[in-house]
Amino acid sequence: MINSEAIMDWGQEAARRLAEIAECSAPGPGVTRFPFTVAHRAAIAQIDQWMTRAGLTVHMDAAGTVVGRREGPAGAGTLLIGSHQDSVRGGGAYDGIMGIALACLALERLADRDLPFAVEVLAFADEEGVRFPTALMGPRALAGTFDPGVLERCDAEGVSLRQALAEFGGDPEAVAGLRRDPAGIRGYLELHIEQGPVLERAGQPVGVVSSICGIERNALTFRGETGHAGTVPMEARRDALVAASGLIAALPGVAADWPGLRATVGEMHLHPNVANAIPEEVRLVLEIRAEQDADREACAARCREMAEAGARAAGCEVSFERSYVQPAMACDADLVAVLRRAAGEGVPILPSGATHDASAMADLCPMAMLFLRCRGGLSHRPEEYASPEDMGVAVEVLARALVEM
C-alpha cells in the first residue's frame, strides 16, 4: 500500500491534467466539448500524451475512439478500461474525461509491474448524445450492437454523424467491423464521478456500482395551427404548446408511480417562436430512466397515451418516436468483488441513476464501475468537482484491482 502523500501526488497530477484538458472547449462557461469538433481534436492530443506516458501504444479507431494498449502475455486476454471525452453544453471538467485520466495514471503507477493480461484504455467519442440524437457509438461498435442507420442522423446544423465522423478521420463504413471477440476480453472497468450525493453524505471517497439504470429518449412533435395572437379566439385555437404543456406538467405525478424512476423534458423547440403568433409546432425530447426496464417501458406507454389525449383535446396531432434506448444493466459480481476488496472494508455499494459507456460494454463482456464522490452531488454544470485526494484514492483502488485480477 502506498502512503497518503503518494496518493495526493497522483491526485494532484489528475487535477492538473483535468484542468488543462478543460481548456479544450467551445467558448462559454464550463466545458462544452462535442464529438468530432475542434475541441475534441485538441482533447485527443492531450489524451495521446497521457496514454504515451503510461507506456501505451495509441491509435484512433474507425468510430473515433482513442485506444491506448499495453501488451500482456500471449493468449492471456485483454482488460478494457474506459470512459468518454465529450461533455454536455456548459458542463464540468470531470464527467467522463476523469475516468480516462485516472486509468492512465493507474497504469503509469504500475509501469514497472507485470500484469497477467493486456490492458486497453478507451477514450470514447460520444456518450452524452448532445450533438447527435444518438450516443454510445464507440462501445456499441465494440460490442457488436451498433446500428449503422444512426450514421444518417444529423446535428442542429444539418451535419450527419456519417459526415462528421469521416471529416474527423474516422471511417463510417468500418464502424460495424470493430466488433470484438468476447472470448478475448477479460472485462470492462469504468471510473466516474457519482453525479449524486450518496457518497458525500456517507463521507466516503469512492463507491462500487451495483447496476446501471436503463434509459430511453422519445422524440415528440405536436402539430397545430398558427395564427395571430390577437385575433384568433381562444376557443378556435389549435395551440401546439398547450397540447405539449399538459404532458410536461403531468410528468412529476406520472413518474411518482414508479419508485426511483426519472422523467424529464430537457429539450424543446417552438415554431414560429414569436411573441405574437400561436405556436403551430412543438418538438421536444422526453427522457425516461429507471432501474427496471419494465417500469421505464410502462411509463413511456403512459406518456404516449397522455400526449395523444392532450393533442386531441387541443385539436392537434402528435408523433411519438423512441429515438434511443439503453437497457438496464447489472454489474458483474466477480468484478464488483474485486473492486470492493481493492477499495477496502465498508465501501458503499450503490446503483447508478445515470447511464454510462459501461451500459453498452455489458453486451460484450462483464463490466463494473467505481464511483467517486463529487461535491454537492453536482454534475453537468461548471461547478462539478472531485477532489485531488479522492482521485488519488481512486488511482490506488484501480491499481490494486488490476494487480489482484
Average pLDDT over residues 232-240: 98
Q: Cell digits for 286?
A: 422526453
Q: Which residue has the higher pLDDT, 50 or 351?
A: 50
User: Measuring CA to CA, which residue among 186, 120, 137 is closest to residue 366?
Assistant: 186
Residues 6+ apart with CB under 8 A from 11: 387, 388, 389, 390, 391, 392, 393, 395
pLDDT at 152 over 70: yes
Q: What percent of the chain has pLDDT over 70?
A: 99
> Please, which residues bridge with residue 388 across strands?
none
Q: Please compute the mean of the pLDDT values over residues 341-357 and round it to a whole number.
A: 94
Q: What is the count of structural domains for the chain? A: 2
What pLDDT shows up at residue 5? 65
Residues 81 and 38 in one domain: yes
Instruction: Give the per-residue pLDDT at 3.
Output: 53
pLDDT of res. 332:
98
42 and 112 assigned to the same domain = yes
CA atoms within 13 A on the CB side of 251: 17
Residue 318, phi then psi, degrees to nearest 5:
-145, 140
Q: Mutual orientation of helices 38-53 and 4-21 as an angle, nearest 10°?
A: 150
Copy the grid coordinates of residue 234. 381562444
Q: Closest Cα to residue 206, out of 380, 349, 17? A: 349
Q: Is 317's pLDDT higher than 80?
A: yes
Please tell me whether residues 257 and 352 are part of one structural domain. Answer: no
Mean pLDDT computed over every residue of the chain: 96
Provide the 10 A C-beta neighbour count for residue 377: 16
Which of 326, 361, 394 lies at the terminal end of a domain, its last residue?
326
Per-residue model confidence (pLDDT) at position 6: 66
**Averaged pLDDT for residues 12-24:** 98
Q: Based on the fold, state whether residues 122 and 39 are members of the same structural domain.
A: yes
Q: In this structure, which amino acid lies at residue 71?
A: E
pLDDT in tens, 41-53: 999 999 999 999 9
CB 54 within 8 A of CB 81: no
For residues 124-149, average pLDDT: 96
Q: Do 151 and 53 fall into the same domain?
A: yes
Confidence of residue 70 (pLDDT cuts 50, 70, 90): very high
Choosing from 309, 326, 343, the residue where a domain stops is 326
Q: What is the spatial distance between Cα 254 and Cα 257, in angstroms, rounded to a whole number? A: 6
Confidence of residue 120 (pLDDT cuts 50, 70, 90): very high
Q: What is the pLDDT confidence band of residue 4, given thresholds at 50, 70 and 90?
A: low
* Model pLDDT, residue 1: 46
Q: What is the CATH number of the domain that holds 364?
A: 3.40.630.10
pLDDT for 2 beyond 90: no
**Of 3 and 156, which is predicted with more confidence?**
156
Using the predicted structure, report yes or no on whether residue 101 has a pLDDT greater than 80.
Answer: yes
Do 225 and 208 share a domain, yes or no?
A: no
The predicted model gives 264-283 an average pLDDT of 97
- On whether both 316 and 354 belong to a single domain, the answer is no
Query: Interior CA angle at 140 toward 299 and 353, to 5°?
Result: 40
**What percent of the chain stands above pLDDT 90?**
95
Give the lowest-confidence range in 227-241, 271-285, 319-333: 319-333
- Residue range(s) defining the domain that contains residue 259: 214-326
pLDDT given at position 326: 82
Indicate whether 263 and 233 sit together in one domain: yes
326 in Cβ contact with 293 (< 8 Å): no
Confidence (pLDDT) at 318: 98
CATH number at residue 294: 3.30.70.360
Residue where one domain finishes, among candidates 292, 311, 326: 326
Predicted structure pTM score: 0.82
Are 170 and 272 members of one domain? no
Q: Which residues pair with 60 in a beta bridge?
A: 66
Q: Is the dihedral of CA 74, 77, 83, 86 positive or negative?
A: positive
Decide if pLDDT at 299 tops 80.
yes
41 and 81 Cβ atoms separated by less than 8 Å: no
Average pLDDT rounded to a whole number, residues 391-405: 97
